[in-house]
């Protein structure tokens, strides 16, 4: 029985020794692989490549953040420009409304001037008719005075023919009265003619002033229409520029969003790769620790077995 037990113990010892030797060899191989992996240039290049990629990703992230800040600043600037354009459009709309008001006032003034011009023309025609009537009355009065003078000369001739009834004092008084009447009629006629000429000149001046005011109003109306057309064209151009800028900003924002999404996906993939590498390293460390514990256990068992085998011999 003792020899069988010793044979069994020897077999077990040989199995333990073989297992320990195999594990030590495997441990050495793994240690050599780990050391070679740590000290090999491939590992350094992988680590440098990883660090370089990480640095490039960080630079790309910083660049994207800077581009995002630049885009936000450009957006703010565009918003300010849009507000300025809106204020300009409001000012131009107010100016257009003011121009419309001035245009309506000018049209009203033009209508009033046209009416005044028509009234002045009618007044001038009336004054011309009155002048013609006064001239006719003057001609009639002149003819009557000529007839009176002729009759007076005939009466003087009759007085000359009848010297008995001739009274020089009455003739002189009559001639003086007749001359005074003639002078008064001539002065009255001259005054009326001068008044009519003055009124006619005033009417002509008012007519010319109305025509000039009408021309100035038409010129001002044309200038206002040109200014209104220029303001409309400028408004359309500003609206087109604003729409184009909005389209460009939207396109740039979409590009930045796509770039950010691509960078985020790449970041997530790199995080997954880093986590996988760390997990592999952790598994290697656990495997190394388990192998070390197993080797220590086998050594302890071998030492205990060798001590137990040596004790009977002693």
pLDDT tens by residue, 192-245? 778 878 877 887 787 788 778 778 878 888 888 888 888 888 888 888 888 888
The count of other CB atoms within 10 Å of the CB of residue 266 is 14
* 30 plus 149 within the same structural domain: no
Give yes or no: residues 88 and 195 share one domain: yes
CA torsion 298-300-305-308 (nearest 10°) is: -170
pLDDT for 43 equals 53
Residues 182 and 71 in one domain: yes
Helices (H) and strands (E) in the chain, counts: 3, 0
Same domain as 266, residue 230: yes
Whether 167 is in a domain gets the answer: no
Residue-level pLDDT at 158: 58
CA distances from 33 to 21, 43, 51, 60, 130 (A): 18, 11, 23, 35, 135
- Same structural domain for residues 7 and 141? no
Evaluate whether 61 touches 266 at the Cβ level (below 8 Å). Answer: no
Nearest to 68 by CA among 310, 288, 264: 264
Cα–Cα separations (whole angstroms), residue 17 to 22, 24, 202, 302: 8, 10, 144, 8
| 42 vs 284, more confident | 284
Cβ contacts of 37 within 8 Å, gap of 6 or more: 43
On whether residue 233 sits in a domain, the answer given is: yes
Top pLDDT among 160 and 4 is at: 4
Higher pLDDT, 265 or 159: 265
Would the pLDDT of 167 be above 60? no
- Mean pLDDT, to the nearest integer, of 122-132? 79
Please provide the average confidence, as pLDDT, over all residues in the chain. 79
Confirm whether 211 is domain-assigned: yes
Higher-confidence position of 45 and 314: 45
Q: Is residue 301 part of a domain?
A: yes
Q: Determine, yes or no, domain membership for 290.
A: yes
Q: Yes or no: say if 256 and 71 are a contact pair by the CB < 8 Å rule.
A: yes
Interval 246-255 mean pLDDT = 84
Are both 142 and 51 inside the same structural domain? Answer: yes
Specify the number of domains making up the chain. 2
Query: Are residues 242 and 82 in contact, defined by beta-carbon separation less than 8 angstroms?
Result: yes
148 with 203, same domain: the answer is yes
The answer, yes or no, to whether residue 270 has pLDDT greater than 70, is yes
Tokens of 234: 């400028």
287/194 same-domain check: yes
The per-residue pLDDT for 259 is 82
In a domain, 263, yes or no: yes
Cβ atoms within 10 Å of 210's Cβ, excluding its own: 20
Q: Nearest Cα to 124, choosing from 190, 191, 201? A: 201
Inside any domain, residue 170: no
* Per-residue pLDDT, 116: 77
Give the domain extent around 11.
1-39
Looking at the fold, whether 54 and 24 belong to one and the same domain comes out as: no
**Same-domain pairing of 31 and 151:** no
- 123 located within any domain: yes
């Amino acid at each position: 029985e003792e020899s069988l037990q010793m044979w069994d113990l020897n077999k077990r010892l040989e199995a333990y020794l073989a297992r320990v030797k195999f594990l030590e060899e495997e441990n050495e191989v793994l240690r050599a692989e780990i050391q070679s992996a740590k000290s090999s240039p491939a590992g350094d290049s992988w680590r440098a490549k990883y660090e370089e990629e990480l640095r490039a990703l960080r630079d790309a992230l910083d660049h994207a953040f800077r581009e995002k800040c630049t885009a936000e600043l450009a957006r703010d600037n565009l918003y300010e420009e849009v507000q300025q354009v809106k204020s300009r459009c409001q000012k131009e709309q107010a100016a257009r409304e003011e121009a419309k008001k001035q245009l309506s006032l000018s049209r009203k003034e033009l209508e009033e001037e046209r009416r005044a011009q028509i009234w002045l023309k009618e007044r001038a025609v009336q004054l011309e008719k009155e002048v013609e009537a006064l001239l006719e009355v003057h001609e009639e009065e002149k003819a009557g005075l000529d007839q009176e003078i002729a009759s007076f000369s005939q009466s003087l001739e009759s007085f000359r023919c009848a010297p008995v009834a001739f009274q020089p004092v009455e003739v002189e008084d009559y001639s003086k009265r007749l001359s005074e009447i003639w002078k008064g009629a001539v002065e009255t006629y001259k005054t009326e003619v001068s008044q009519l000429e003055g009124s006619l000149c005033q009417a002509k001046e008012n007519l010319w002033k109305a025509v000039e005011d009408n021309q100035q109003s038409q010129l001002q109306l044309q200038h206002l229409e040109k200014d209104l057309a220029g303001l409309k064209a400028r408004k359309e151009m500003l609206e087109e520029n604003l729409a184009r800028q909005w389209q460009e900003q939207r396109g740039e924002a979409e590009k930045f969003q796509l770039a950010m999404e691509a960078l985020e996906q790449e970041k997530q993939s790199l995080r997954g790769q880093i986590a996988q590498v760390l997990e592999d390293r952790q598994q290697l460390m656990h495997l190394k620790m388990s192998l070390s514990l197993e080797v220590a256990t086998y050594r302890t068992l071998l030492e205990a077995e060798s001590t137990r085998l040596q004790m009977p011999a002693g």
